[in-house]
Structure formats: C-alpha cells, structure tokens
Amino acid sequence: MFLKRQYDLGLRFKMKRGERLSSNLRIPEDRPLSSKETELVRWALEHGLPGSHSYLPQVDKLRVTSRCGCGCASVDFSFGGVLPDYSAGLEVLSDHLWGTGGTDLCGVFVFARNEKLAGLEVWSVDGQVTPTELPKFEDLRDYSQEKT
C-alpha cells in the first residue's frame, strides 16, 4: 500500500489551507524545467518515500510556473499545462537534507497535489541561509534518518 505523508503548506509558511502564496512571494514563470531541476526531481523520486517512483512518468510533462520570491531555488510546476489544485494539501514524495548541521543545514522535498507533481521546495532548517542553489545528489541524506 502506498504510504502518504500529507503536509499542508500552512505548516511551513503559516498559511491557511488552500490559501496561495501572495504574488510578491511567488514570481510567475513559464518555462521547461532546467536540466538540474529535472535531474534532481528524478533522483528524489527514485530515492523517495514508498510509492514516489510511480510519479516518474510525470516528469517529462512538467513546466515551471513560478519560483520563490525570497531568492531560494524553489519552483512550482504545472503538469500537462494544468496548474495544481491549490486547495489540496501537499503530499511529500521525497524529503532530504544536506549541509553540515551548522547554519548551512538545508532541506529539499518534491511534492504533489491531487496525485500530480506540483513542486520542488528547498529550505533552510534554521532560517539562517537562503539555499539559492539546488543540492548535489551526493550531498543528500534522507530526512527521516536525521535527528535535527
């Protein structure tokens, strides 16, 4: 059975369920995923939570629809030209950390909404840095195996 970890975007950003990030926090874009984004999403799904590999066929139909206004490397996706249902909660498919555990400890996760890939999120564990670059695969470790 596919084990789902449901997250509400409000947990990290203190928003109400279904509320979208304001336009000043998300910068609209319409472009294909970069090769680095594509490779990271594929790797994350291959090394993600149980069932995440079933999302691999969707990767080739993704487009970036926005990026985070804070300057981090987070992006939102559309699938097959359709935006996700923002009223749905997040389903985290892959959750990893990188960094030393000091002020540079960061996380990255791939998420879906209503069974469609919807984004790639990078974040700082302590809020002291802005992860402006995507991590290298060899630097990633499973979040569930860490004690932060």
**Segment 78-118, tens digit of pLDDT:** 999 999 998 889 999 999 999 977 778 999 999 999 999 99
What would the mean pLDDT of 53-75 be, rounded to a whole number? 96
CA dist 25 and 7 (Å) reads 20
Report the length, in residues, of the chain: 148
Beta strands, E only, 55-139: 62-68, 75-79, 90-98, 106-113, 116-124
CA dist 117 and 125 (Å) reads 23
DSSP letter for 3, please: -
- Work out the pLDDT band at 24, boundaries 50, 70, 90: low
DSSP letter for 86, please: T
Q: Answer for the pair 49, 94: CB distance below 8 angstroms, yes or no.
A: yes
65 burial via Cβ count (<10 Å: 0-12, 13-18, 19+): buried
Task: Give the per-residue pLDDT at 100.
Answer: 79
What would the mean pLDDT of 10-22 be, rounded to a whole number? 40
Beta strands, E only, the chain: 5-7, 26-32, 62-68, 75-79, 90-98, 106-113, 116-124, 141-142
Closest CA to 135 of 147, 146, 145, 120: 120
pTM of the model: 0.82
The structure tokens 């097959």 sit at 80
Q: Which two structure tokens, joined as six digits, stand for 33?
A: 């995923």
Domain locations in the chain? 27-81+90-145
